[in-house]
Structure 1
Amino acid sequence: MRLLLRRGFQRSVVRDRMTSVNAVMFRRVWKGTNETVLAYSESEALAYRVRHADIDPADPFVVDPDHALWQRGGEFLDVAGELLQLPPAPEHSRL
């Protein structure tokens, strides 16, 4: 978790209305993309990268598979580590 924060992710607690479960969300907008890790527990997490324009910030639990640049589910450390190791997307803006 500390590594995500050091890499510019913001941490917040969000509630998944579909499952009525709270999750810790780590999110950063980086070079035109939104990178998010949703941690339900140590063993259950979702990480994804989408273009910033293709995400609804009000509902981070829903990611359109057609718009996801990358997405993984699994243990928190595994999916967060994979996200941090991704190369920049070729279509990243320079902002």
Structure 2
Amino acid sequence: MPELEVKNEDGTTTIMTQWTRNIWRSGNDTEEPTVSIPLSWISIIGPTDFADAVHGINFKEVWLYWDTALLMKHLPLEAVVSQTQNVLPKA
């Protein structure tokens, strides 16, 4: 799993990692995942004022990127990941 850590001038740290997410579809009882998807995680961590924060740091921002198109052939057409428009209610 490649990882890169960058110390920012504002006292935060940007961490970038990449790995593969293996997913077993219901009914797949084999050792081989139904689909394997490359995944990238980027997060910014930094000092916090929360008393119960581990080592006094907290996530400031988090981004998770993965190719949902690789799931398309394994999911029904009405699945949220298959939609081309926002199907979730707006907050």
TM-score by length of 1: 0.37
Larger radius of gyration: 2
More helix by share: 1
